[in-house]
Amino acid sequence: KEESAANLKALTGLDDNSIAWLTGQAELLSTKMTETGVRIRKSSKEILDAFTVVGSAKPELLKNKEALSEVTQQAMILAEASKMDLNEAVRGLTISMNMYGASAQEAARYTNVLGAGAKEGAAEVDSQTQSILKSGVAAAQAGIPIEQLVGSIQALAEKGIKDEIAGT
């Protein structure tokens, strides 16, 4: 765990107090349910590593420990709810947020959209992410909300058109 905290400190440049706070958050998340009732099934070391992965994927979070913690928690919720690998959940959430220029305060919205799409539709989160990689910037610039984009991706997936092809 100390090595993970040291890696996080090196990546973020945060001070010792901020790293101690994030370490405390990791310990808390590893032992409790989230406010939405999801049980995070990761150790505090894995959560510290997730902070690092999220920070690498969304660099603007590196100077804001609370925002980094929030987006990481949402990625873990997405991973748990979708029964997927945490790194895939981080990738899906951060790519979607980055395409739309979304802030950390919108992380729960993006988590809900991706999770609901995977639950109700034919494309899992990873497939949605591949589609969003191809279409996200254009959709955001055209003013198409993430909910509508994911709905379109799911409509195509139902017909067997998935991944990058659906995004294109």
How confident is the model over 37-86, as pLDDT tens digits?
888 889 999 999 999 999 999 999 998 999 999 999 999 999 998 899 99
Q: Is the pTM of this model over 0.75?
A: yes
Quote the mean pLDDT of the chain: 94
Q: What is the pLDDT of residue 123?
A: 97
DSSP notation for the chain:
-HHHHHHHHHHH---HHHHHHHHHHHHHHTTSB-TTSPBP---HHHHHHHHHHHHHHSGGGGG-HHHHHHHHHHHHHHHHHHT--HHHHHHHHHHHHHHHT--GGGHHHHHHHHHHHHHHSSS-HHHHHHHHHHHHHHHHHTT--HHHHHHHHHHHHHTT--HHHHH-
pLDDT at 141 over 90: yes
For the chain, percent of residues with pLDDT exceeding 70: 100
